[in-house]
Amino acid sequence: MLPETTCHCIVITRQVVVPNMPPDRSERTDAADPLGRAMLAHYHDEPGRLVYRDGTDVQDGNVAEFYFSSPESWEPATIEFLDRLADHEPVLDVGCGAGKHLLWWAERGVDAVGVDASPNAVRTARERCESREILRKNGNATERGLEDVLVGDMFDLPIEPSTFGAVHTVGTQIGLGRSLAGIREVLTGFAHVTDDAGVAVVDNYDPTRLDEEFFGYRPDPREGIAHRCFHLEFERETESNAATSGGRYSSCCVPLLAFARRRPERRGSRVTSLGATARHIIK
């Protein structure tokens, strides 16, 4: 789950079945994984700082705000989307990060499974889920946990076909497709893992509302297209000396594509403007 969720959300229309999950891949390791390490450190109250770097420009990663915010602070539109997806359970949360949306669904008895490319984000989400007893719809208290959060790449989801009724990928990570063809590939993958009546919700920045002041901004000569690129860096502090690094973990440049829909809205579509952002629902 990438930071700063904004811009337009798209719901793409596609019987709900019980998930038949493949073998877990959580033992995969990632030597860097700065974002996941930052989530895990924050959850364990360990000192450290996540930053974005673009040349000499530096911006705080705001781990608490982006990945651990409470539902009370969320926009009403966010709750609306989560609630609507609950009607299509089971839900697959792609790029689940520290699991804040998984917890929201779980506390309401909604079957949801998280997938994230970051092993440490998955570990964080698992620990958060395991720390709570969740009442499922059948009324039996259970500890959600290991089987509900998986390490996986959204370009190659570790999910059997037609397993889910909905896909949720909110955090602008759809932009990791890097091109319109790449984004089409991701959406095709979402269609593969959902049933015939499935839906998907994604979001992205609207490039028509961005300029060079936007962190990591890269222009594109094509109308309705822009790019964003920055590095993630997490620096852990030691307990003995907060000024001394206890470990620094950096990512390669994170390239993101921002795009705007230029086709006329389909029948049944709805556009919601949220200040500088817009959310599109397509049925």
In which band, very low, low, confident or very high, does the pLDDT at 254 lie, cut at 50, 70 and 90? low
Contact 174, 7 (CB under 8 A): no
In which band, very low, low, confident or very high, does the pLDDT at 239 lie, cut at 50, 70 and 90? low
**Whole-number pLDDT of residue 72:** 96
**Whole-number pLDDT of residue 129:** 84
Measured in degrees and rounded to the nearest 5, phi and psi for residue 81 equal: -65, -45
Residue 243 DSSP code: T
Average pLDDT over residues 172-199: 89
Which burial class, exposed, middle or buried, applies to 144 when counting CB atoms under 10 A from its CB (0-12, 13-18, 19+)? buried
Residues 190, 268: Cα–Cα separation, whole Å: 21
Q: Is 134's pLDDT higher than 90?
A: no
**Whole-number pLDDT of residue 147:** 53
Distances (CA, A) of 15 to 158, 194, 275: 21, 10, 36
- Residue 70: helix, strand or coil by DSSP? coil
**Whole-number pLDDT of residue 15:** 27
Q: Is 62's pLDDT higher than 90?
A: yes
34-43 helix and 119-130 helix, angle to the nearest 10 degrees: 20
- Within 8 A by CB and 6+ apart from 62, the residues are 3
Q: Is 39's pLDDT higher than 50?
A: yes
Residues 283, 279: Cα–Cα separation, whole Å: 13
**What proportion of the chain, given as a percentage, has pLDDT over 70?**
69
Question: Domain 8-281 belongs to what topology?
Answer: Rossmann fold (3.40.50)
Q: What is the pLDDT of residues 3-35, one digit of tens each?
A: 444 443 433 333 222 234 444 444 444 458 999
Distances (CA, A) of 185 to 9, 81, 190, 192, 252: 17, 23, 9, 11, 23
Q: What's the residue count for the chain? A: 283
**Whole-number pLDDT of residue 143:** 43
Bridge partners of 201? Answer: 11, 168
Nearest-Å Rg of the Cα atoms of the chain is 19
**Whole-number pLDDT of residue 130:** 81
- Residue 143: helix, strand or coil by DSSP? strand
Contact 230, 178 (CB under 8 A): no
Q: Is 264's pLDDT higher than 60?
A: no
The 10 Å Cβ neighbour count of residue 273 is 9
**Whole-number pLDDT of residue 246:** 53
